Amino acid sequence: MEYRKVEGVAKPVSRIVFGTASDAFMDGKDQSELLDAALDAGINTIDTARKYGLAEKSIGIWLEKRDVRDKIVILSKCAHPSVIGKKRVNEKAIRRDFSISSKYLGIDYIDIYLLHRDDPDVGVEVSVEVFNAMHAEGKIGAFGASNWTHERIDEANEYAYSHNLIPFTVSSPHYSLARQVADPWGGGCVSITGDENKEARLWYQENQMPIFAYSSLGRGLLTGKLKSEDAAMANKYLDKFAIKGYGCEDNYTRLKRCEELALKKGCTVSQIAMAWLYQQPENTFAVATMSSPKRIKENVEALSITLSEEEREYLLYV
């Protein structure tokens, strides 16, 4: 396993992050054996959110049973819009979500805490001030945002610097070989894929802010369960959010090229797509849901697969 330092987090952070936005976790089921396999493989970082149903409860069951809190980096998210779309980027919502998350997780400290969405009508000072206060209270370590544009993050950090406060040090946009062609869920999802987001990627390259890339395999499009030859029947293999967000001819071509390279290198399609993400010039961490020890092992092995610059460009530019 490869680990990197994230400012504000005392523990090393695994570059593969165990995602819990899956049915078993969101239903609150005991997933201790799967989490055991992840930790045994060196994956010490878990991504969750108040929005993910009972996923935090599922994690909490494992933490209590195994007594491994000192080894684990917990990333959770707060202030997601309500079910009717009401925006919740305010101190009351942030603190309420933290209270519920900490109860389900069975912990009083979250290593990395992110806003789940932005509200451009709310000044950046609100989030910066609240997170700094929570950090001072010993509730959170590093903090930042999921689905914020780099311009808003930059604005938040300029405010922090000018007021002698701790800045955002983590971001979680969508990033993968599969370009996000539409907002899968609505409500302000932010991707840094595609030519239209070249400026964002340059900003991340320059600043080297850790990117916790969600949908790192295009919400299943690049896992190998869908074959490029079956792209016309993609809805048999992918859910409606994957089809909306990533279902396009260019991405199916990228899938075909992953298949070609996987055959050439004797590995899987998902390993090629993960290797591509790991080897980008930004400071990337891949968030991936993993349903079996086999899939965990494959994702870890992808760290050791080398792609040449020519191969990386072949995969991306279609």
CATH code, 196: 3.20.20.100
pLDDT tens sequence across 209-239: 999 999 999 999 999 999 999 999 999 999 9
pLDDT of 187: 79
Which pLDDT score, from 0 to 100, does residue 256 have? Answer: 98
Cα–Cα distances in Å, from 36 out to 33, 49, 203, 240? 5, 20, 36, 31
Each residue's pLDDT tens digit, 44-69: 999 999 999 999 999 999 999 999 99
Spatial separation of the C-alpha atoms in residues 34 and 67, rounded to whole Å: 15
Answer yes or no: is 77 within a domain: yes
Q: Is the pLDDT of residue 36 over 90?
A: yes
Is residue 226 included in any domain, yes or no?
Answer: no
On whether residue 47 sits in a domain, the answer given is yes
Tens-digit pLDDT profile for residues 16-33: 999 999 999 999 999 999
Domain membership flag for residue 267? no
Q: Specify if 241 maps to a domain.
A: no
Domain count, the chain: 1
Res. 84: pLDDT tops 90: no
Domain boundaries, position 160:
3-220+277-307
Percent of the chain exceeding pLDDT 70 equals: 100
Distance CA 229, CA 214 (A): 26
The whole-number pLDDT of residue 186 equals 82
Q: Is 247 among the domain residues? A: no
- Sequence-ordered list of residues with C-beta below 8 angstroms from that of 176, at least 6 positions apart, any chain: 193, 213, 215, 216, 217, 218, 222, 273, 277
- pLDDT score recorded for residue 136: 98
Kindly report the average pLDDT of the chain as a whole number.
97
Q: Which two tokens stand for residue 294?
A: 């086999």
- pLDDT 10s digits, 254-297: 999 999 999 999 999 999 999 999 999 999 999 999 999 999 99
- Nearest partner of 209 among 159, 170, 156, judged by Cα: 170
Tell me if 256 is assigned to some domain. Answer: no
Nearest to 47 by CA among 172, 167, 153: 172
Strands 170-172 and 3-4: unpaired
pLDDT digits (tens, 9 = 90+) for 95-135: 999 999 999 999 999 999 999 999 999 999 999 999 999 99
Say if 108 falls within a structural domain: yes
- Assess whether pLDDT exceeds 90 at residue 168: yes
